[in-house]
Amino acid sequence: MVCDPVGELVKALLVHERESFGPEAVSLPGGEAVAITFRCPDKAGPNEDAAVVVPLGDGAVLAVADGVGGSRSAHLASAAVTRALAALDDGGRSDVIDAVELANRQILESSQGAATTVAIAQIEKNTVRPIHVGDSTVILVGQRGRLHMQTVPHSPVGYALEAGMIDEGEAMHHADRHIVSNVIGAEDMRIEIGGSLTMARRDTLILATDGVLDNLHLDELIDFVRVGPIAKAAQRVADVVSRRMREPQSGVPSKPDDTTMILYRRNS
C-alpha cells in the first residue's frame, strides 16, 4: 500500500498495496480518524485491502475495501475503488455512488476477473450514512458500548445471521463464511445505501474488512474501541487479530487474512 497526496495539497489519505501501515491519524471536521492495515501473516503476495480517508467540507468520506481473494488482481480492484473515492470533491452522496460505479466499470473493463468489497461512511457534520458492497462492515458504537448500527454483510451467512437463522457463534465458524454474494467488479453489482444516523460526542465509527470480524467477536471489538485514544485502540485490535491468526487456539476465532480498519471518533 502507498500513502498518496491527491491534488496539489494533501486532500486524502489513500493506502493500498502496503504490507503494513499505521496507525495513522487524520484530523477531520468534528473528529479524528485513524487507519491501520497489515498483510495476512506468512502471505507472499500483495495486501489486497485498501483504505481511504477524504476530508470534504464539514465532513468526510471514509472507506475500506477488500480485494476478493482468489480473484485475479484483487489488490488492483480494491485500489481502484479507493482511488475513485479519493478523487471526490465537495459534492453530495450521489458523487460517492458515482465513484463506486466508476470503479465497477473500470474493473469490468480491465477484463482481469478482479473484484472487491467496499464499506463507506459518509460523514456530514454530526451525521453518518453507511454505504457498502459486500461483506466489509460499518459499525457505530457509543462510549458505553451500545451498538447503534451495523451493516449486514452481503453474504449467505450474513443474511442468515440477520434473519435469526443462526447466531453469532455459528456465523463465526460457518464453513461458508468466506462466500460473498455482491462485489464491485460484477455486472449485477448492487450498492446498499443506509439511513443517516446522528453521532453523539465520543461515539466511535468502525470500518473494517473481514480480517477484523473473522478474528474478533463483536463485543470484543466494541470493548477495544469504545474508550481511550483511537490510535491505541486500533493498535490493540491489530495486535490481537494478528496474534490470533498466528497462534490459533481451540474455541477462539482464527482466520488468517489481510486486515484493514478505520476508526473515527467525534470530539465535538
What is the band of 109 on the pLDDT scale with cuts at 50, 70, 90?
very high
pLDDT exceeds cutoff 90 at 23: yes
Strands (E), 222-258: none
Looking at the DSSP bridge assignments, the partners of residue 2 are 16
Residue 109 phi, psi (nearest 5): -70, -20
- Dihedral over alpha carbons 128, 134, 135, 140 (to 10 degrees): 0
> Domain range spanning residue 118?
2-266
Give me the pLDDT at residue 200, please: 95
Q: What is the mean pLDDT of residues 194-214?
A: 96
User: Taking the complete model, does pTM exceed 0.85, yes or no?
Assistant: yes
Mean pLDDT of all residues in 188-208: 97
When comparing pLDDT for 236 and 251, which is higher? 236
3-state DSSP call for residue 31? strand
Give every CB contact of residue 7 below 8 A, 6+ residues apart in sequence. none
What is the rounded distance in angstroms from the CA atom of residue 227 to the CA atom of residue 141? 10
E-strand ranges in 192-232 read: 192-193, 197-198, 204-208
SS3 content of the chain, % helix, strand, coil (to 5): 25, 30, 40
For residue 190, what pLDDT is reported? 97
We report the CATH number of the domain holding residue 71 as 3.60.40.10
| Torsion sign (Cα): 123, 126, 127, 132 | positive
Residue with cell 483504505: 51
User: Which of 65-69, 91-95, 186-190 comes out lowest in average pLDDT?
Assistant: 91-95
Cβ atoms 213, 222 nearer than 8 A: no
For cell 458492497, name the residue. 133
Task: Please write the tens of the pLDDT for every residue from 126-158.
Answer: 999 999 999 999 999 999 999 999 999 998 888
Q: How many domains does the chain have?
A: 1
d(CA 131, CA 151): 9
Tell me the backbone φ, ψ of residue 198, rounded to 5 degrees.
Answer: -85, 135
Which residue type occupies 45? G
Length of the chain: 268
